[in-house]
Amino acid sequence: MNTKLWYLKHLDIFSGIPEKKLAVISSLMGSRNVGKRELVFQPEDLNKVYLLKSGSVELYHLNSEGKKVILDQLEPGSIFGDLAISESTENFAEATSDAFVCILTKDQFFEIVSKDPELSTRVMKFFLNKLSETERTISSLATDNLVFKFSSLLHRLAKNHGEENEIKIEIKEKFTHETLAAMLGVSRQTMTKLINALEKQKIITRSGKIISFDKVKFDDHYLS
DNA sequence: CCATTAACTGACT
DNA sequence: AGTCAGTTAATGG
């Protein structure tokens, strides 16, 4: 069995879709190894949809001052690309570790999805969830002060990279201060100070790659 | 006052 | 050699 097919079967969005269909899809897909620091796509690349199989990819755009604003750290299983119909989102996708991506043209992607009602529904749910998450993120970035922006960010990252319960959220992957800062539009030094302050208050504890965030303590300190 | 940039430093890989 | 985090000094809104 080829690796693309194996991979499709283990993607949430394709789970339970008959193997025959997946075989057709995988035969249409291209694939590519992407080295660390290599761009997976640039704003000019409008015509492709990517599935991240392994490694990590950073989605970002450059603000008016040319500063990098990180929109997302994608983990294996992510679907990405400039899916909008006509205009570019001016986004870049850069591998932050060696990565492997599967590639479809947009036409192929929509062709495949539109032929299968079950798949259509899943893709729609996937993007509606993404939209809802994006709305929360925008709202937080636009109106919250820094501590609350950071709290929102950790919640979001926990859903994608860790786990969340009613007491704690945990992020399993390694996020540098630099990266976290670029997600909130603050400097690296400011992020360092914030994290250390929260650590002093025991709201954040770190062991290795895991960041734990104590929601109860956070609320105690910062809610009314 | 608060956050930013720039620069230097030590720890780590 | 390169990355990361902690610190300080100067600057600006």
CB-contacted nucleotides of strand C (7 Å): 3-9
Q: How far is the CA of A146 from the C1' of C11 (A)?
A: 22
A134-176 per-position pLDDT tens digit: 999 999 999 999 999 999 999 999 998 899 998 888 888 889 9
Decide: CB of A160 under 7 A of nucleic strand C.
no
**How confident is the prediction for chain A on average, in pLDDT?**
91
Cα→Cα distances A151→A12, A15, A103, A170, Å? 27, 32, 34, 12
Cα→Cα distances A202→A44, A127, A157, A205, Å? 45, 36, 20, 6
Instruction: Kindly give, in sequence order, each residue whose CB lies less than 8 Å from that of residue A109, ignoring residues fewer than 6 positions away.
Output: A49
A22-34 per-position pLDDT tens digit: 898 899 999 999 9
pTM: 0.91
